[in-house]
């Protein structure tokens, strides 16, 4: 009987691996195959074209350039803010630090549209400036500019950098600084000789992470930049969907995959250096006293508030104002399918699609993630390998995944191309690392002796799982579920590839509506974005509430 | 009642138990005493059924219990870290095993109350276990493992994480509770004082095997080997080939020690002013150090030949650096196995 139970466990344990193999490794290998052997034999012409074309070299260089620029701007803004957050205690600090993470769960389409609404040609800021200064022409000309892309990237990544650097700085404390001051260092020398050199590991780690996020950014660039500002991601999408040049798209994907692999390696090594010193943490914040200190804190708070809330506020206000009046007509119009639209359905129907897919993806990611977490936690010979293995989808761009899906899963025996199932499957893959990262810390925190105690008190193995593990994992599971749900609701890159006709999701609909000419579609896209933002923000609130108890590691 | 028959166990390459045989009578408290890493906890886990990969047999009431899974053994185990369930209240922790037995709510409630009373925590039933002090946690863990009326109670360093003062008091209390419940128990510890206070019988373990077992008094008075002697804090262990000891041994007459083996000069047999028998060996010593311990002085002195001796006296007879004469009882010279 015990042997059969053990066999059953082995089978259960292999389910997540099988899922990863089928829906991650197989599509990725298909990309390799299409790029290296488009006609069944080794053919590197796509690569040769890629590397000999100034255009595609330009794409690659621009991808690196915009990512580097986003990283630098983010770090320049986040470093002083991190210092202020670590150094000073002020009211609302915890809330602000928590709120600053909100963009992390906001879908790219929503953010892109929010910035377009705030800073675009007919944007809120231009309207306000023109009304205030009675100007004839629009003062802000950011439409389809690199600056707009960079600003949106900073919006996304600011909190990531802020959190990493703040916690590192808090853990370092300010003793060294006090010592330097006693030895005669002035403010300038402190920054040059003490603060910046000390914070460098955290800055490096944050910088690499921001670079990775910006390098793989898709929705923001597609919507705010267009093909003129094509990065690798956008180019893959463009070549695959608009030009049907699959070998070239595959070759670009391969470049993307290899770059990601390289960057993840660098990130992991910077992480290691960070963990060494993060051991001790002391409360080192003090109240700001001098006028200068107060000014710094105020500036910092203002920067975060403006960066975070201005675009989202502009989006919400624009969506509920019709001809200067408060009116929910935009939302009411969602039930209509506008004529001549690229959509096959009324926008509101995509809400039901998204909810359905998100629920399925949540359940699937939760089941697979729980099993995977137990596999990793067993501390066997393979667990060291398993953890990074299950993190791979996080390190793979959504566009690459979506592209892999459509070229790999389009023929028997596994033809999912026309099935709506392909969407929740792709979302499950993207959500899986989030579930594992949420569950694993709680799981690791359960001492083995608790289960053993339960067993000696008469609990069967299954009883011990249900009465000990499950309640103790509760918060972790809830955080993971919310993450999975939110990630699925907002997923854009992969969905754009795999969502077909009637089964489109909210982000895809928003993108399609933006592509439609006509004011009606634009108003519908505003209303849809606000709806999606509310769903994701609710998810964020739940996660942050649960996280106060210290669940989740990122 | 419980027989441990030639049990061996290894963690990979590292042998943790080597051919261990022990038995336990009904109602007896057996103490496994030894330094950390000696295999005592592993032996406990094997008996509990938590380690299944071992050679030999665990026989309970005449039956080899190897195929019986942990939850069907009905053995209580109290963990070193107490392993209290953090998501359950104090009462629910104690009720956990009772629920597995299928008792109804009323029965469980009554049993929990009487257990709380027995361990002196009457009003703690709804308390969050995280808010309990170390000593209180220890009591809850004890009550929890007592609750399902275990056929055998095992305690793995149950006082290990508490401070020394609390430990002395609780060791006695533990013995009384186990005895009043009429339980058979295996008690694991590395602290000899704790073992003396709790055990009916002590098995001293080292590197995976039992070196000696017997009553606390037997083990202390007649340690079988150098390891046991030293582990019990008896420091006067010498090799018989040590030149400094030959004159002492020759004066003691024909002992049965071999050249090259070890002997112990038990401090309980070193007398000063009274208590000595006629055949006691008078020995002149120089006092090297004296440590005041309150009720006793711990003394270190050397013989003329330079042999160091440790013993204790209730009064300081001379000042440090001065000479004194002690009498060594012949039966204080104990031959030791290797």
What is the tens place of the pLDDT at every residue in B190-211?
Answer: 999 999 999 999 999 999 999 9
Cβ within 8 Å, pair B100-A459? yes
Chain A contact set for B158 (CB, 8 A)? none
- Residue A10 has what pLDDT? 81
**Best mutation target, B51, B71, B186, to test chain A (most A CBs within 10 A):** B71
Q: Residue B46 in contact with residue B7, Cβ under 8 Å?
A: yes
**B284 phi/psi in degrees, rounded to 5:** -90, 130
> Span A11-37, mean pLDDT?
89
Closest CA to B234 of B219, B244, B248: B219
> How close does chain B come to A39, measured CA to CA in Å?
52
Q: What DSSP letter does each residue of A236-247 carry, written as one string?
A: HHIIIIIS--HH
> How close does chain A come to B75, measured CA to CA in Å?
6
Report the percentage of chain B scoring pLDDT > 70: 98
- Residue A341 has what pLDDT? 62
Closest CA to A102 of A365, A278, A393, A311: A311
| B48, B71, B79 member nearest A458 (Cβ) | B71
**Backbone Cα Rg of chain A:** 25
CB atoms within 10 A of CB B332: 21
Round to the nearest angstrom and report the end-to-end CA distance of chain A: 41
Q: Does B87 touch chain A (CB under 8 A)?
A: yes
**A522 phi/psi in degrees, rounded to 5:** -60, -45
What six digits make up the tokens of A375? 């596999």
Closest CA to B146 of B170, B128, B119: B119
- Residue A278 has what pLDDT? 42
What six digits make up the tokens of B66? 């190897």
Give the DSSP H or E segment for A139: none
Max Cα separation, chain A? Answer: 84
Q: Residue B104 in contact with residue B138, Cβ under 8 Å?
A: no
> Span B260-268, mean pLDDT?
89
Closest CA to B128 of B164, B86, B185, B177: B86
**B149 phi/psi in degrees, rounded to 5:** 50, 65
List Cα–Cα distances, B118 to A120, A210, B186, B278, in angstroms.
Answer: 75, 60, 20, 52
Report H helices in chain B: 40-48, 70-73, 90-100, 105-118, 134-146, 164-180, 192-198, 216-221, 226-231, 243-251
0.85 surpassed by complex ipTM: no
Chain A contact set for B147 (CB, 8 A)? 457
Selected residue with higher pLDDT from B155 and B330:
B155
Report the percentage of chain A scoring pLDDT > 70: 94
In this structure, the strands spanning B297-303 and B262-265 are: unpaired
> How close does chain A come to B44, measured CA to CA in Å?
12
Q: Residue A399 in contact with residue A237, Cβ under 8 Å?
A: yes
| A449, A456, A459 member nearest B81 (Cβ) | A449
Report the percentage of chain A scoring pLDDT > 90: 25
Sheet holding B14-24, edge to edge: B14-24, B2-11, B55-60, B63-64
Domains of chain A: 15-36+55-329+345-550 (1.10.3720.10)
Site of tokens 């408060």 = A326
**pLDDT band per the 50, 70, 90 thresholds, residue A553:** very low
What six digits make up the tokens of A326? 């408060």
Site of tokens 């994992």 = A473
DSSP B57: E
Give the DSSP H or E segment for A434: helix A422-444
How far apart, in whole angstroms, are the C-alpha atoms of residue A18 and residue A383?
A: 16
**pLDDT band per the 50, 70, 90 thresholds, residue B108:** very high
- Residue A280 has what pLDDT? 43
Per-residue pLDDT tens over the stretch A343-398? 677 788 888 999 999 999 999 999 999 999 998 887 667 777 888 888 888 878 88
Q: Does A468 touch chain B (CB under 8 A)?
A: yes
**Best mutation target, B41, B67, B70, to test chain A (most A CBs within 10 A):** B70
**Best mutation target, A445, A457, A461, A477, to test chain B (most B CBs within 10 A):** A457
Per-residue pLDDT tens over the stretch A186-243? 888 888 888 888 888 889 989 998 999 899 889 889 888 877 888 888 989 888 888 8
How far apart, in whole angstroms, are the C-alpha atoms of residue B45 and residue A374?
A: 23
Q: Does B77 touch chain A (CB under 8 A)?
A: yes
pLDDT over 50 at B258, yes or no: yes
**A321 phi/psi in degrees, rounded to 5:** -105, 125
Q: Does B153 touch chain A (CB under 8 A)?
A: no
How far apart, in whole angstroms, are the C-alpha atoms of residue A75 and residue A210?
A: 9
- Residue A281 has what pLDDT? 44
Cβ within 8 Å, pair A457-B74? no
Average pLDDT, chain B: 90
Cβ within 8 Å, pair B81-A458? no
pLDDT over 90 at B300, yes or no: yes
**B313 phi/psi in degrees, rounded to 5:** -135, 155
Q: Does A467 touch chain B (CB under 8 A)?
A: yes
- Residue B255 has what pLDDT? 63
Selected residue with higher pLDDT from A172 and A215:
A215
If you count residue pairs, one on A and one on B, with CB atoms under 8 Å apart, how many are there?
Answer: 65
- Residue A498 has what pLDDT? 87
Cβ within 8 Å, pair B77-A453? yes
Q: Does A447 touch chain B (CB under 8 A)?
A: yes
3-state helix, strand, coil split of chain A in percent (to 5) is 75, 0, 20
Q: Residue B46 in contact with residue B54, Cβ under 8 Å?
A: yes
Cβ within 8 Å, pair A449-B79? yes
Report H helices in A242-346: 246-277, 291-320, 329-332
Q: How buried is residue B53: exposed, middle or buried, by Cβ count under 10 Å (0-12/13-18/19+)?
A: exposed
Report the percentage of chain B scoring pLDDT > 90: 66
If DSSP codes are grouped into helix, strand and coil, which group holds residue A437?
Answer: helix
Cα dihedral sign for B265, B268, B273, B276?
A: negative
For helices A398-408 and A26-36, the axis angle rounded to 10 degrees is: 80
pLDDT over 70 at A167, yes or no: yes
**Best mutation target, A452, A458, A462, A464, to test chain B (most B CBs within 10 A):** A458
If DSSP codes are grouped into helix, strand and coil, which group holds residue B300?
Answer: strand
How far apart, in whole angstroms, are the C-alpha atoms of residue A127 and residue B45?
A: 75
Per-residue pLDDT tens over the stretch B109-141? 999 999 999 888 888 888 888 899 888 999 999
Span of A83-87, A423-427, B299-303 with lowest mean pLDDT:
A83-87
Give A147-150 contacts, CB < 8 A, sequence gap 24+: A148/A115, A148/A116, A148/A119, A148/A224, A148/A225, A149/A66, A149/A70, A149/A217, A149/A220, A149/A221, A149/A224, A149/A225, A149/A229, A150/A66, A150/A69, A150/A70, A150/A73
CB atoms within 10 A of CB A104: 18
Span of A89-98, A380-389, A396-405, B141-150 with lowest mean pLDDT:
A380-389
Max Cα separation, chain B? Answer: 75
Q: Residue A459 in contact with residue A467, Cβ under 8 Å?
A: yes
In sequence order, the β-bridge partners of residue B237 are: B264
**pLDDT band per the 50, 70, 90 thresholds, residue A407:** confident
DSSP B84: -
What six digits make up the tokens of A324? 């200067």
If DSSP codes are grouped into helix, strand and coil, which group holds residue B220?
Answer: helix
If DSSP codes are grouped into helix, strand and coil, which group holds residue A283?
Answer: coil
In sequence order, the β-bridge partners of residue B326 are: B283
> Span A311-317, mean pLDDT?
89
How far apart, in whole angstroms, are the C-alpha atoms of residue B64 and residue B59?
A: 4
CB atoms within 10 A of CB A47: 18
Give the DSSP H or E segment for A475: helix A470-490
If DSSP codes are grouped into helix, strand and coil, which group holds residue A280?
Answer: coil
Q: Residue A109 in contact with residue A489, Cβ under 8 Å?
A: no
| B73, B75, B96 member nearest A454 (Cβ) | B96
- Residue A551 has what pLDDT? 42
How far apart, in whole angstroms, are the C-alpha atoms of residue A261 and residue A263?
A: 6
> Span A35-53, mean pLDDT?
79
Q: Does B73 touch chain A (CB under 8 A)?
A: yes
Whether the ω angle into residue A333 lies within 30 degrees of 0, i.e. cis, is: no
Per-residue pLDDT tens over the stretch B322-334? 999 999 988 888 9
Q: Does B42 touch chain A (CB under 8 A)?
A: no
| A447, A449, A458 member nearest B97 (Cβ) | A458
Of A198-202, A469-473, A515-519, the range with the highest mean pLDDT is A469-473
Q: Does A449 touch chain B (CB under 8 A)?
A: yes
3 state SS for A321-343: EECCEECCHHHHHHHCCCCCCCC
Q: What is the pTM of this model?
A: 0.81
List Cα–Cα distances, A462 to A458, A465, B71, in angstroms.
Answer: 11, 5, 11
Average pLDDT, chain A: 84
Cβ within 8 Å, pair A463-B71? yes
> Span B167-171, mean pLDDT?
84
Angle at alpha carbon of residue A217, lines to A216 and A220, rounded to 5°: 165
- Residue A380 has what pLDDT? 67
Cα dihedral sign for A194, A199, A201, A207?
A: negative
**Best mutation target, A456, A471, A475, to test chain B (most B CBs within 10 A):** A456
């Amino acid at each position: 009987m015990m042997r059969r139970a053990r066999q059953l466990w082995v089978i259960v344990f292999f389910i997540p691996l099988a899922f990863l193999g089928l829906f991650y490794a197989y599509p990725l290998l298909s990309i390799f195959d299409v790029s290296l052997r488009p006609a069944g034999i080794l053919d590197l012409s796509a690569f040769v074209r890629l590397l000999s074309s100034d255009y595609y070299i330009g794409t690659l260089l621009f991808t690196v350039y915009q990512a580097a620029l986003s990283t630098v701007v983010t770090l320049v803004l986040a470093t002083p803010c991190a210092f202020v957050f670590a150094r000073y205690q002020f009211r609302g600090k915890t809330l602000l630090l928590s709120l600053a993470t909100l963009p992390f769960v906001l879908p790219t389409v929503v953010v892109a549209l929010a910035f377009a609404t705030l800073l675009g040609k007919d944007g809120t800021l231009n309207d306000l400036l023109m009304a205030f200064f009675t100007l004839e022409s629009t003062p802000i000309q950011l439409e389809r500019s690199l600056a707009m892309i960079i600003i949106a990237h900073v919006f996304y990544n600011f909190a990531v950098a802020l959190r990493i650097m703040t916690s590192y700085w808090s853990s370092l404390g300010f003793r060294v600084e006090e010592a330097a001051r006693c030895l005669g260092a002035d403010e300038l020398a402190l920054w040059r000789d003490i603060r910046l050199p000390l914070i460098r590991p955290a800055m490096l780690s944050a910088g690499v992470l921001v670079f990775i996020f910006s390098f793989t950014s898709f929705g923001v660039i597609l919507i705010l930049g267009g093909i003129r500002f094509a990065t690798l991601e956008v180019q893959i999408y463009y070549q695959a969907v608009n030009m049907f040049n699959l070998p070239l798209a595959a070759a670009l994907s391969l470049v993307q995959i290899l770059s990601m692999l390289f960057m993840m390696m660098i990130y992991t090594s910077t992480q290691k250096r960070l963990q060494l010193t993060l051991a001790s943490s002391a409360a080192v914040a003090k109240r700001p006293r001098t006028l200068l200190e107060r000014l710094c804190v105020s500036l910092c708070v203002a920067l975060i508030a403006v960066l975070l809330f201005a675009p989202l506020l502009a989006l919400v206000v624009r969506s509920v104002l019709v001809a200067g009046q408060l009116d929910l007509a935009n939302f009411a119009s969602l039930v209509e399918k506008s004529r001549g639209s690229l959509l096959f359905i009324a926008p509101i129907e995509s809400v039901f699609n998204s909810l359905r897919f998100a629920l399925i993806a949540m359940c699937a990611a939760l089941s697979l993630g729980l099993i995977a977490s137990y596999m990793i936690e067993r501390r066997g010979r393979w667990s060291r390998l398993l953890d990074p293995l299950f993190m791979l989808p996080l390190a793979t761009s959504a566009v690459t995944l979506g592209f892999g899906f459509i070229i790999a899963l389009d023929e028997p025996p596994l033809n999912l191309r026309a099935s709506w199932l392909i969407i929740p499957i792709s979302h499950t893959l993207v959500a899986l690392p989030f579930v594992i990262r949420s569950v694993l810390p709680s799981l690791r925190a359960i001492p083995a002796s608790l289960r053993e105690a339960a067993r000696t008190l008469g609990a069967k193995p299954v009883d011990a799982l249900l009465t000990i593990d499950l309640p103790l994992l509760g918060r972790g599971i809830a955080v993971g579920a919310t993450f999975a749900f939110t990630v699925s609701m907002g997923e854009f890159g992969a969905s754009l590839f795999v969502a077909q006709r009637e089964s489109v999701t909210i982000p895809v609909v928003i993108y399609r509506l933006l592509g439609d000419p006509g004011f009606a579609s634009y108003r519908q896209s505003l209303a849809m974005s606000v709806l999606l933002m509310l769903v994701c923000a609710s998810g964020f609130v739940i996660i942050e509430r649960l996280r106060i108890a210290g669940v989740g590691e990122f | 009642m419980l027989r441990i028959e030639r049990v061996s166990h290894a963690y990979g390459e590292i042998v943790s138990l080597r051919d261990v045989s022990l038995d336990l009578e009904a109602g007896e408290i057996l103490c496994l005493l030894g330094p950390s890493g000696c295999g005592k906890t592993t032996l406990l886990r094997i008996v509990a059924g938590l380690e299944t990969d071992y050679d030999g047999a665990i026989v309970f009431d005449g039956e080899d219990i190897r195929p019986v899974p942990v939850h069907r053994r009905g053995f209580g185990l109290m963990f070193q870290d107490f392993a209290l369930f953090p998501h359950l209240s104090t009462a629910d922790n104690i009720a956990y095993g009772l629920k597995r037995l299928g008792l109804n709510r009323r029965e469980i409630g009554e049993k929990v109350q009487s257990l709380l009373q027995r361990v002196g925590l009457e009003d703690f039933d709804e308390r969050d276990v995280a808010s309990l002090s170390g000593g209180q946690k220890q009591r809850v863990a004890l009550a929890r493992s007592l609750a399902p009326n275990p056929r055998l109670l095992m305690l793995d360093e149950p006082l290990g994480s508490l401070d020394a003062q609390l430990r002395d008091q609780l060791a006695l209390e533990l013995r009384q509770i186990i005895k009043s419940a009429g339980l058979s128990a295996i008690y694991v510890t590395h602290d000899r004082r704790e073992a003396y206070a709790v055990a009916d019988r002590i098995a001293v373990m080292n590197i995976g095997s039992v070196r000696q077992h017997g009553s606390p008094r037997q083990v202390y008075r007649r340690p079988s080997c150098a390891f046991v002697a030293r582990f019990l804090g008896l420091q006067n262990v010498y090799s018989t080939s040590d030149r400094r000891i030959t004159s002492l041994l020759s004066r003691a007459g024909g002992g049965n020690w071999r050249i090259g083996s070890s002997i112990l000069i038990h401090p309980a047999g070193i007398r000063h002013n009274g208590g000595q028998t006629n055949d006691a060996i008078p020995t002149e010593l120089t006092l090297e150090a004296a440590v005041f311990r309150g009720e006793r002085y711990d003394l270190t002195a050397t013989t003329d030949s330079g042999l160091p001796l440790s013993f204790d006296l209730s009064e300081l007879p001379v000042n440090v650096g001065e000479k004194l004469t002690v009498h060594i009882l012949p039966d204080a010279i104990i031959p030791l196995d290797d």
